[in-house]
Amino acid sequence: GRQAVQAGQPSSRADLRGCCRVADGGSGGTARPVSYIALWGVGGHCSVAPNPEPSSSSENTKSLLGAWDVIKTKEFVDLTHAFSPGIPSWPGFPTEKRRTLYSIDASGGGELGTGFWAEEFCHVGQWGTHVDPPAHFVKGMRTVDEIRPKEMMMPLVVIDVHDKVAADPDYVLSMDDVKEWEGRHGKVPEGSFVIMRTDWSKRWPDADSMTNKDSNGIPHYPGWTQETLTYLYEECKIMASGHETTDTDPGFATAKDDYTLETYILGTDHYQIELLNNVDKLPEWGALIVASFPKPRHGSGFPARVFAILP
């Protein structure tokens, strides 16, 4: 059987590695090394414990690092607009304000001093490419800080209707569009992030072009429909959705202060991302999306940094 032979008290922690010698009689009594861990015991005496067998965690680590070896070779696409004062936004919001508090030197105009560069940003939560948490429209539901990290990385579904939107800016996503996508790729997967591609982001940063108002002041831009959202969230059980416009609801609906569709999404305890960019660079299926954002306590929304990893 296995025997542990105490070799004496080590004089320092550096001696721990050699403080115990172990042998295994094995069959035929031939001594061979056995893996033990030496531990500093009570009163400085050395004790030993068996080294645990390799666990599944080490295999999981290898698997995760193997996934990174694949991911790091892929193309990353930034789906985020850079924000600044004057960018397109919901018309009821004030524009962003910035102050230079500290600057590297006096020429930078730091109001409080010099030696480094630090700015103060003042903007609404729904600014630029941003996250809308459930609490944005539904009182008592989750705020930005309560969105779990596991909800921020998902398989990506892109339903491309940009040709139809080019022909009709009031176009709304139909079940036929969803079913055509499923005819090519299978059912929209549970836990995925669905983007409606309209190429509306190509109008950025022209606010007038984004709202696309007619002579009567009615905006014309595309949106979702209740039928498609109910199917995606309740039957397919997607994680989240996003679009390139300022609103979930089409322009002709928001002109009447009708935000039924955004209220529906957030009311299902899911979040959405608005004002996405570079959607035309994405495949319909096979990419991953990462939707990340800061964690303001009890926050109603915040600018997001969103990117895709292509297959």
Q: How far apart are CA 274 and CA 287, in angstroms?
A: 19
Structure tokens at 172: 């709304």
3-class state of residue 91 by DSSP? coil
Question: In this predicted structure, what is the pLDDT of residue 150?
Answer: 97
Q: How far apart are CA 76 and CA 43, in angstroms?
A: 57
Q: 239: how many CB neighbours lie within 10 A of its CB?
A: 21
**CA 223 vs CA 163, 178, 181, 232, 261: distances in Å:** 14, 14, 17, 15, 9
pLDDT in tens, the chain (311 residues): 444 444 444 444 344 334 434 344 444 444 444 333 333 344 444 444 555 555 677 888 889 999 999 999 999 999 999 999 999 999 999 999 999 999 999 999 999 999 999 999 999 999 999 999 999 999 999 999 999 999 999 999 999 999 999 999 999 999 999 999 999 999 999 999 999 999 999 999 999 999 999 999 999 999 999 999 999 999 999 999 999 999 999 999 999 999 999 999 999 999 999 999 999 999 999 999 999 999 999 999 999 999 999 99
Give the CA-trace dihedral at 218, 230, 147, 154, to 10 degrees. -100
Structure tokens at 255: 């002109």
Question: In this predicted structure, what is the pLDDT of residue 55?
Answer: 62
Question: In this predicted structure, what is the pLDDT of residue 50?
Answer: 52
Q: How far apart are CA 258 and CA 223, in angstroms?
A: 12
Q: How far apart are CA 245 and CA 277, in angstroms?
A: 10
Q: By C-alpha distance, which of 205, 76, 209 is closest to 129?
A: 205
> What is the value of pTM for the model shown?
0.81
Q: How far apart are CA 16 and CA 117, in angstroms?
A: 50
Contact (CB, 8 A) for 282 and 197:
yes
Structure tokens at 262: 């955004």
Question: In this predicted structure, what is the pLDDT of residue 184?
Answer: 98
Q: How far apart are CA 160 and CA 199, in angstroms?
A: 9
3-class state of residue 158 by DSSP? strand
Q: How far apart are CA 76 and CA 132, in angstroms?
A: 24
Whole-angstrom Cα Rg for the chain: 29
**CA 250 vs CA 120, 226, 229, 243, 258: distances in Å:** 34, 11, 13, 11, 9
Contact (CB, 8 A) for 17 and 37:
no
Q: How far apart are CA 218 and CA 301, in angstroms?
A: 27
3-class state of residue 220 by DSSP? coil
